[in-house]
Amino acid sequence: MASTKIGFIGLGLIGGSVAKALRKYYPDCEIIAFDKNRETLALAVQDSVIHTACSSIDDNFRECSYIFLCAPVSCNTAYLSQLKELIAPDCILTDVGSVKTSIHEEVAALGMEENFIGGHPMAGSEKSGFANSKAHLIENAYYVLTPTEKVSPEKTAAYRDLIASLKAIPIVLDYREHDLVTGTISHLPHIIAATLVNYVRDTDTKDELMKALAAGGFKDITRIASSSPVMWQQICLKNRSNISRILGGYIDALAQAKALVDSGNERGLYSLFETSRDYRDSMPNSSAGPIKKQFAFYCDIIDEAGGIATIATILATNNINIKNIGIVHNREFEEGVLKIEFYDEASSDKAARLLQKHHYIVYET
């Protein structure tokens, strides 16, 4: 990979994170990039993530072994025609979009199938932009590959190995199956979060009691509503047939839940929450999927000077790194409480045991 040249078109959250991961694991590879935002390119050069900032899609991309399309879904298809005359026969062209059908159809129309392998890292954040990108964002995340029927097995194997070397988990799917699966586990949750937040906004009291009293549970399930409106607008437009069918099925499920409430069906209501709990608890925690697991817990704290510093010191002296720490005001517990977040499950478990040993009360999330 030392002499490998890799091109990026778009350096947002995902493109920037993939570029940073490549820089981390392949420090000698050459990375070039084009982005409409010149400040983004300047920051990427300043951070030594890329070598060359391109003002357009030009001859700089001719010698690339890999080209990542990381612009919004609607833009990626337009960039394909500009790349058609630039890419070499052995170049692997890919994207990072969460909808695959539209770009696969455009690739086929342009006769670029021998170069294209769709890609979708199942990771993300409610924050967007290169400034929020991280090299570890795709670590332990499923990274879906959707090769065309005409791309060679050798290209697919090489790309799969590259993704695995970045510590992501590659999985090969048909692009149609990908759009159905992500429509259910990624696109639907974003729509649910957005509509739930808007429902609270529209039905709140005049003095906004709902907004003031919204506690951890509401904020946890609506966190992704803070994601980029432009990105999710485009996703819904590009995957609308799947999303429409999925929404129809979910609306039916909500109607069934309403019927259970209306009829006071005790057994049915218990089963609703029992089956959802059991299925949710059976999901693996190792993958940083679209809705990432948080390694965090709540800790009761006495309202006194130095209380937070004491806890931070206990953890620091035991070599436990804190990702985030903050006071939670609206919650189901008593007195003041801290929410402490960690980078991994092992650190969270160790910290919880340690603080309990020091007689702190810890509540698991």
DSSP 239-307: THHHHHHHHHHHHHHHHHHHHHHHHT-HHHHHHHHHHHHHHHHTS-SSS--SSPPPEEEEEE--SSTTH
CA–CA separation, 325 vs 340, rounded Å? 5
| Neighbour count for residue 98 (Cβ, 10 Å) | 26
120's CB contacts (< 8 A; 6+ apart) are: 96, 97, 98, 100, 143, 144, 146, 178, 182
Tell me the two tokens of residue 228.
């980029």
- Tell me the residue ranges of DSSP E strands in the chain: 5-9, 30-34, 52-54, 66-69, 92-95, 117-121, 142-147, 169-172, 295-300, 322-328, 337-342, 362-364
Tell me the two tokens of residue 347.
């650190």
**Is-contact 34 19, C-beta < 8 A?**
no
Half-sphere exposure of 291 (CA within 13 A, CB side): 20
CA–CA separation, 330 vs 353, rounded Å? 25
Tell me the two tokens of residue 259.
């019927």
CA–CA separation, 175 vs 7, rounded Å? 23
Q: Beta partners for 8?
A: 33, 68
| Neighbour count for residue 150 (Cβ, 10 Å) | 13
**Is-contact 311 195, C-beta < 8 A?**
no
CA–CA separation, 62 vs 34, rounded Å? 13
The single-letter code of the amino acid at 11 is: L
**Is-contact 72 99, C-beta < 8 A?**
no
Tell me the two tokens of residue 15.
């493109």
Angle between helices 240-263 and 188-203 (to 10 degrees): 50
- Predicted pLDDT of residue 365: 61
pTM over 0.95: no
CA 257 and chain centroid, separation = 29
> For each of the chain's 365 residues, which pLDDT tens digit applies?
657 999 999 999 999 999 999 999 999 999 999 999 999 999 999 999 999 999 899 899 999 999 999 988 778 878 999 999 999 999 999 999 889 999 999 999 999 999 999 999 988 766 778 888 888 889 888 999 999 999 999 999 999 999 999 999 999 999 999 999 999 988 999 999 999 999 999 999 999 888 888 766 787 788 888 887 888 888 898 899 999 999 999 999 999 999 999 999 999 999 999 999 888 888 765 544 444 556 888 887 765 667 888 898 999 999 998 888 877 654 444 455 788 998 888 899 999 999 999 888 887 76
Q: Specify the pairing of strand 362-364 against strand 30-34.
A: unpaired
